[in-house]
Every structure is written in structure tokens, then in C-alpha cells.
Chains A and B, each alone.
Chain A
Amino acid sequence: MKQLEGQIRIPSGCAISAVISTSGERMSGEGIIKSMIPMHDRSNGLGGGFAGYGIYPEYRDYFALHLFFDSRSARADCEKYLHDEVEVVKSERMPTRTTAEITDEPMIWRYFVTPLRSVLAERQQNENEFMARLVMHINACLDGCHVFSSGKNMGVFKAVGFPEDVGRFYRLDEYGAYSWTAHGRYPTNTPGWWGGAHPFSLLDFSVVHNGEISSYDANRRFIEMFGYKCTLQTDTEVITYIADYLVRRQGLTLEELASVIAAPFWSTIARAPEAEREKLTYLRTAFPSLLVTGPFSIVLGFSGGLMALNDRLKLRSMVVGEKGDRVFIASEESAIRAIEPDAENVWAPAGGEPVIVRVKEGRY
């Protein structure tokens, strides 16, 4: 039997890249694929993936569910469940390109859905909460079904393979997004499988991550108390749920989110100006179980923007550059230069210093 995540440990890095147009201009996926090529050796072919924002303007008011199915019967079970819970306005096989590099693909489908108003009223839930629970239910309870993307006007595309091959497989050159994130995986500790590739996503949050979270179990135990189910046994998943919990449910800002998961050392907090010190102390005290330790560099995608963040000790590399209305974030400067040779203001954010880039209001 094939061993999945959590059943085997493979001791062994990763590559991340992202681009955003602050004027909301749509970019095809070709650029982001190109940026991953110089970082080829940071991955080992066991996982690659992308998230694009603004790609489904014609369905912008519907949740776009991307699913992997192990079998026809799994798909039939899932569709039956979906029809009980949501209105499906469109369902289709995910458009892919047959290539020599990507093999053994599961059945990949996408659905544009909206929760039934009657069901929302009966459960006294808003649509985001309802959809988050629906995703958790499918991933935890329906065998052979895995929702890997569930936001509005955005989508995650991932597979086992090198990122550039995964991008071509999903025909990303045919999409237009105002922001893209990308990941090349070199699985640490666990094997690669389609669901275990990055980005990890819930509603419109998506996370690509280079690193290894030593606080994973502490974070998981805390977040599972609020209905999140860590079904993938891979560390990055928990960061996505922490972002959803702190930002969507607790109403924290992205800066505050960064101060929780990459909280400064107490000795650094002690030297901060008073107002800042009080705030940081409050956040570290209120959410101690959501401090994420161990090496990480992440890009968090959300509707209308991106946030890049390193762990507080900066144990992984990350650089930021810009040109015109474009901002680039990547594990290596070479990835930025690959798509924008004339990138300006290339700099490396400090550990725990969030870099938040937003599309101008009204442009996405």
C-alpha cells in the first residue's frame, strides 16, 4: 500500500515565488512559472503548485471548489453531498494538458457553488463559515475526496511534479490573475502526494511555505479546538487555518497576525516603544499557542493582496523587489530577475517583519 503523509518520514528544502500587480492588471501564469525555473534545484519533483487571484471574474460571486477524487464513486458521493448543501451553478473537469512529466493524476474537478439561503438561515451561519465547515467535512469525512481550493475568484492548482511542469499541466498560461503565488516542494519528513503539495488553502486564504514548523503539534492542538481539522499531516496546513481563525474569525489585522505567529522575542518586545510593547505583549499572551516556531518563509495570498513573512529568527531566505506596479517576492533574487531583469529596490525583509502588498482599492 502506498504510504501517505504521516506514515513515513523522509528527512531531507522548498522554493516560493509570488507576484502582484498593485493596479490589478491581469497577468497570465507564464511569468510565475518562469520565475520558478532558476530555483528548480530547491524542489525534488514531489510537489509543485500555484494560487491565482482574480482568475474567475465571470463567477466572482461563487465559491470555486477545486477537488481531487480517488474514484468515480468518491465523486458521486461528494456531488450528492454538495447538491444537498449548495447550489452548483457549474461543474466541470479541470482543464489540464497531457504531459509526459505529470502522471498518476487523480480525477480533478471544479465546481462553482453558492450556499443555499435556506440552509444558511437554518444553521445561523454566514456563508464563509458555512463554506469553511463544508470544506472541513469533505476533507475529513468523505473518503477519496479532497477540496484543495475553496475561495471566490481565486484558485489553487497543485500536483506531484516540478512546479514548472505543474503550471503547464494546469494550463496556467490561459488564466489571468492580479496576483500569483507558487511553490516548489522538497518534502521534509513526509512523502509527496497531490493533496500534500502547496499552496494550502481555505476560502480565499492560501499559503506557500518554505521551512519546517517545529511547533506544528502545539498549533494543531489549539486550532482543532475551533473546528479546524488538520487532515493532511503536513505542517503548512495549520498556518492557513491560523490565518483564517485570527483574521476572519477574530478580526485581527494582517500585521497583528504576523505579530502572533512570528512574535518577537520578549527581550525585543521589552525594548519597543510603550504602545507597541503593550500590543505585542497582549498578542503574545492572548495567543501563545499560535506562535509558530522553526524555520519558515511564507507568502499568504488573500483577495486583493499578498503578505510575505519570515520566522522571527529568519531561518529561511526571502527577497522582495519591485518594478512599476509589480511587486515580487521569492526565495531567491534569481527568481525575480528571471521575470523582471530590471527589478528595483531588491531587499530582504527582517525576520518577523511582514511585507503586505495590496491591489489598489476597486481594482480587483
Chain B
Amino acid sequence: MTIDARGRDFAALNEAIRAAGGFCEVRGCVGQRFIAAGMSGCDIKIFGVPGNALGAYLNGGTIEVFGNAQDAVGDTMNSGSIIVHGSIGDTAGYAMRGGEIYVRGNAGYRAGIHMKAYQDKLPVMVIGGCAGSFIGEYLAGGIIAVFGLGEPGRPPVSNFPCTGMHGGKLYVRGACENIVFPKQVSARPAGDGDLEQISALAARYCGYFGGSAAEIMDSPFTVVTPDSRSPYKQMYVAD
């Protein structure tokens, strides 16, 4: 079923999506917030620009966006998949605790802020392009991977990556020679176990967006984890 989003506010649009049982194509989207918030078992394809908090509290199912998405994609999502063929705004996956977010393009600031993992819940975020500053800020669990494809010369991650990280893993494609990580984390070349995991993510990424996983893997990778000997203290106040 196709839903024309034009002229509907976020409440009316979400109502129409629920009335369709969560199986629909949304056309002409212009900034309506909270699309599919809290839904489970849905399959939604979105054309246009969905608004902030797309798939917030998503509890299963798939949302696919054929364009860009705005801020706070997958805020606190618990399960399911969000696939974005364009770029995304700031704070994607905020406090996400399960499911996956795949982005073909770039991510804004603070992607994966405070993601967490628990028992069988392991959230995954894969960014094909580059990410803004503060990726993985306060990361507590889960996996973030950044491939840095598409803009040669631009570092895959920007300033202050993993500030306040105390759990989880960040994978960055490349040796990260010019990237300054905080003292509280350890950045090192990815080992065999890591590469196996990254290779699975790359295969899934190419499944969604096309491209060659072998080409993505034809590069060194860096893995960043918290260093428990040097815990996070503070940043904002002293500087």
C-alpha cells in the first residue's frame, strides 16, 4: 500500500502507517517525525525526507529510506533494521540497545552516542561514508563500523571519537594514523576475530547497497575499545 505523506502531519502519517498494518510505501515525506516509533513487525519504504527520530523505539521489522534521513535515527531502538540509502543527521542510534542501522552515506555528529548491549542484545551501526565528531560518545556497548567510502582524503571519523567510551567497539576502515583518540580508549589494528566480524558487516552492507565487500575489506582496519586502566573523567569543563 502506498501512503502519500504530503499534507499530513506526523500524527496523521503515523496513524496511516499503523492503519496499513505497518506494511507500506510512504511517498512525498517532508520532515514528519517519529515515523514507525515503537512499531514492530513492520516493513516500511520511505521516499522523501523522513523527520527526526525515525524508528525511535523500533521493536522489530525494517525501515528503508531511499534518500537522506535527519537527526536521531533509531533513537533508543530495541530491535529491527533501519537502512538509509543517503546520509543521516546527528545523534543516530542514540541509546540504541538492539537491532541494526545501515547508512550508505555519511553520518553527522555523535553517531551511536550511548549505545549499549545486554545479554543477547547487540546493536550494530554501519556507516559507509564518513562520520562527524564525537562518534561513539559514551559508547557503552554494541558495534559501530565506519568505512569512509566516497570521499577520498577525508578522515573516516572526525574530532573526539569515542569520548567517554566505556564499552562496545568501534571499527574504522584505515590505519587511523592522523586521528587522535582520547587517552581513555585503546586504538589498535584489527585482529583476526575483528576482521571476521567486519567482513560479515561489509557483506551485509553490500547486500543492502551493492558494491564489493572484498574491496571494502582490502584495507587495514582499526579497532577501538575502552581502556579500563584509564577510565573516562571529563572533557567539557576543563577545556
Contacts and interface: CB of A to CB of B under 8 A. Distances in A.
B31 A335 contact: yes
Contacts of B87: 346
Interface string B24-46: 00000011110000000000000
Interface in A243-301: 265-268, 271
B49 to A, nearest CB: 5
Contacts of A38: 30-32, 51
A47 B42 CA distance: 38
A271 B178 CA distance: 10
B90 interface: yes
A39 B31 contact: yes
Interface string A37-71: 01111000000000000000000000000000000
A328 B124 CA distance: 33
* Interface bracket on A: 20 to 34
A358 interface: no
B48 interface: yes
Contact of B70 (A267, A268, A334): A334
B31 A350 contact: no
Contacts of A350: 132-133, 158
B31 A271 contact: no
B132 A314 contact: yes
Contacts of B71: 317, 332
B30 A334 contact: yes
Given A333-B70, A334-B31, A350-B158, A319 B180 contact: no
A268 B68 CA distance: 30
Contact of B109 (A268, A332, A351): A351
Contact of B49 (A271, A314, A337): A337
B132 A332 contact: no
A333 B33 CA distance: 12
Contacts of B180: 267, 271
B70 to A, nearest CB: 6
A319 B132 contact: no
A335 B87 CA distance: 16
Contacts of B10: 41
A40 B158 CA distance: 32
Interface string B81-105: 0000001011000000000000000
A333 B133 contact: no
A268 B133 CA distance: 12
Interface string B1-43: 0000000011000000000000000000011110000000000
B199 interface: no
A338 interface: yes
A318 to B, nearest CB: 9
A348 interface: yes
B132 A334 contact: no
B31 to A, nearest CB: 3
6 A-B pairs with least C-beta separation: A334-B31, A38-B31, A314-B109, A334-B30, A38-B30, A334-B49
